[in-house]
Amino acid sequence: MPDLEKFTRIDAIALPMATPNVDTDQIIPARYLWHAKSDGYGKWLFNDLRFNEDGTLKPGFILNQPDYAPAEVLVGDRNFGCGSSREHAVWALHDYGFRVVIASSFGDIFYNNSFKQGLLPVVLPEAEVQALREAIERGNSAHVSVDLQSQTITGPGGFSTRFEIDPFRKKKLLEGLDDIAITLTFTDAIDKFEAAFEQNMPWLKNP
């Protein structure tokens, strides 16, 4: 029944992005939105920040630096994922390989969409996010560990903290269940309700 990749714990290279108000058009430009999800959106992640018009890499963009290219944890700034409501922004991050985004705040729609696609958005106090980014920047290919079961994050330089998450969303990520899959876990209850409904109100039954 699981439809998404189960998320329990990840230990991976972290990408520090100290830019506030990273909007969804920066994450995935609107001109790519007509593509099907199956086309893979990772190749267009941060497209206009990563690439020149001729398709060559912009060496100044952090994701193009060899130490950070394999990152699976993104440590951003406040209001990450703001702007227009597009699931494609989450698709692009997840398809590229990111599994966690840590920030002091998120755009509401981006935050909600993340859970639907198996991407874990973690909200931490701004001072902690800054401390984690700075610790990553001081390291070399610095790793960050995120444990969903214990709701803890550890990083370089002795960084350690705990984060909050809605219990229902935590359950869905741990078990790899999307909205449809979680609904199907109530199949027996739904069948019982429908049977009782038809019995009590037979005149409503379809001919």
CB-based burial label for 56 (10 Å; 0-12, 13-18, 19+): exposed
Domain count, the chain: 2
Residue 103 domain boundaries:
9-176
Same domain, 141 and 189: no
Same domain, 34 and 100: yes
pLDDT band at 111 (very low <50, low <70, confident <90, very high): very high
Q: pLDDT tens digits, residue range 14-56?
A: 999 999 999 999 999 999 999 988 889 999 999 999 999 999 9
On whether residue 2 sits in a domain, the answer given is no
Q: pLDDT tens digits, residue range 160-172?
A: 999 999 999 999 9
